Chain A
Amino acid sequence: MAGYAFLLIALMTTAAYLLGRGRGARIWAGGDGSKVHSLPGYHGAFVAAWVGIPAFILGLFWLFLQGPIIDQFLIASLPTSMTDGATASQINLLVSEIKNVAAGQVFKEPTPDIVAAAERYELWGQIARWAMIVVALAVMVVALSFARSRLAPRFRARNAFEHVLSGLMIFCSVVAIATTIGIVSSLVFEAWRFFTMVPVTEFLFGLRWEPQIALRDDQVAGLGAFGAIPVFTGTILIAFLAMLVATPIGIFTAIYLVEYSSDRARKIIKPIMEILAGVPTVVYGFFAVLTVAPAIREFGGLIGIAVSPNSAIAAGGVMGIMIIPFISSLSDDALNAVPRSMRDGSLALGATPSETMIKVLLPAALPGIVGGVLLGVSRAIGETMIVVMAAGLIASLTLNPLDSVTTVTVQIVTLLIGDTEFDSPKTLAAFALGLVLFLVTLCLNVIALRIVRKYREQYD
């Protein structure tokens, strides 16, 4: 039904455009050319914007508000015997039962009261949907007649449409900003709830992480400990191993591509790097868990070293491979941004290509490369799928890359899977971890972008 409403709005908008353009064309033909301000198309667009946009916004608001308002009516209309003394969650349960009955999903025989309520619910829904179409139509007709009455030879439809467009762009950017604010505030809010149950100091400095506490009385589980240090060290260890792989390989690849490779080699290598960048992380996860981890374990066995099946080095190494294209393409950009005249100046003094690279190009591109590496680190820290598959679950406090460690992202995933209840520290801990993760990657990104930007100013 809502779909029909929006289809109607779209049709009306198109019709409004055609009407406006037709009117504009008549004005254009009637005027003596120089006196008419805007082309017919702008008149059409102006009328269409007036007809379409308010009705569309109205429709959206209607859809958002319709549900809660009907729910309120529904609760108010229930016999007092059903709602008296009930808690908010019991009422919610009742409402969803009514909705289920209305939708024809009957799980147990409903009481007559509920059947009656379900019928009312159905009816109100119908009324609301029809009302929406009627109101939207009315708004569009009013807007159409208003907008058409504005059209005149000297009317500045072109400028007015410019305002509409800039408004549209502002709206789109506001969507992104508002979403960010929403995500951050939900993180902060839930993390704050967690910190009312577990002290911040214990979370930040505690050395034991055993979050699998009982959610119900009959479950057998640990008492729980929420010291996140082992999780942080695990994350840092894996990210460090990843960067150990990605940084040198990525930078050397970039150097090779920029300075040494022939055109033909570049044409082959670049697309392959792009394929590497396009592999889904879950596939890297398979690769880590099915190929790399067993290989490292076997190799460890050969030389007599015990390697855990979920070793940090397997997860970190594969994550490093995932980050290589990221670092190499950012370093590539940084090296290419160094003006050609620098390289020519050095070569003309009789420096070899590698002397030129080490003494002139790399120092000049260093800020850009460092920025790229920092962005790589923030990706390594936030990467989830590879570590969920290949890293361990037990938070052990170790820096041995052959041991199994866990990461912040893995813990967030495991804490939120399965039976969850959003008022126990177990689930809320995920938000606290998420907040820390967010702050760390935010800082890294800000620093990296600042370094990159500062560097750009040097040559532009």
Chain B
Amino acid sequence: MNDASMSAEMTANLSKSLDFDQAAKPKVVAKDVNVFYGEKQALFDVSIDIVEKSVTAFIGPSGCGKSTFLRCINRMNDTIEGCVVKGGISLDGDDIYAPSLDVVELRARVGMVFQKPNPFPKSIYENVSYGPRIHGLARGKTELDEIVESSLKRAGLWEEVKDRLNEPGTGLSGGQQQRLCIARAIAVSPEVILMDEPCSALDPIATARIEELIDELRANFTIIIVTHSMQQAARVSQRTAFFHLGILVELGATEQIFTNPSDKRTQDYITGRFG
């Protein structure tokens, strides 16, 4: 297959998947995103629509650029020296790379959960109240208490920690720490939550708990999850994007990607031929 026909096929796939979701409103729209780490190009012309209040999974082999793309959406790549992002990404129609945009505000709208649970070495309460405090979301202690309580409840952690809110968050188990990090992200009331392999450091039971939680959160948030586990993508997501070597190969409804992929590379990957 030559390059031209390949890209033609890709475009066809893309437009097909867009047709599929025409009813849903796109929350994040990326157009021709190219990312460079110094001389090395990590992403090539990625264009994608993320549907509101649904879970989109990014899958692909290691080093395929899925995490890099995820980190473009809240501009965490800004913190990496030598990283250049070209192209446009918009959130509700606002260009997030526009000079007038405030990164701090963007990150309050687009929360993030990392691969390894990273609670601050502070109490559980302070971990959750950190975001609301710096953004001034609460007027007074009672309001802050309410935000902390509701965030922990939505993260499914409240029952386990309500009696020890003043103990350090680092003392929790790995799965609890990750739910604490989710609660911490929710507390700022973001519109989008980015999850970068949130279960890769957890055991199967804790993973199941987080997956359930992701399914519940879908009602209120737009969730994008990067995962290495194809089963996880199949379980939690409505739409799946397959990345390979910095190219967005295929995007579509999760069911279609896993049962009837249109690209040969996707097929090879999900059947375990590589990656």
Contact = CB atoms under 8 A, between A and B. Distances in A.
B53 interface: no
A70 to B, nearest CB: 67
Interface residues of A, number: 21
B122 interface: yes
Contact of B76 (A339, A348, A364): A348
B105 A350 contact: yes
B79 A352 contact: no
Nearest to B118: A341
A349 B130 contact: yes
Contact of B130 (A262, A344, A359, A364): A359
Contacts of B105: 350
Interface string B215-255: 00000000000000000000000000000000000000000
Contact of A349 (B108, B121, B122, B170): B108
A342 interface: yes
Given A344-B114, A345-B114, A355-B134, A350 B104 contact: yes
A341 B122 contact: no
A281 interface: no
B81 A263 contact: yes
Interface residues of B, number: 27
Contact of A346 (B81, B106, B130): B130
Contacts of B76: 344, 347-348
A363 interface: yes
Contacts of A351: 104, 130-131, 134
A348 B104 CA distance: 9
A359 B126 CA distance: 10
A349 B118 contact: no
B130 A348 contact: no
Interface string A342-378: 1111111111100100011001100000000000000
A363 B108 contact: no
Contacts of B118: 339, 341-342, 344-345
Given A347-B79, A347-B107, A360 B120 contact: yes
Given A348-B107, A349-B134, A350-B188, 13 more contacts: A263-B81, A341-B116, A342-B120, A344-B118, A345-B119, A346-B120, A347-B107, A348-B185, A349-B130, A349-B131, A350-B104, A351-B104, A364-B121
11 contacts: A341-B118, A342-B120, A345-B118, A347-B107, A348-B107, A348-B185, A349-B134, A349-B184, A350-B107, A350-B131, A351-B130
Interface of A: 262-263, 339, 341-352, 355, 359-360, 363-364, 458
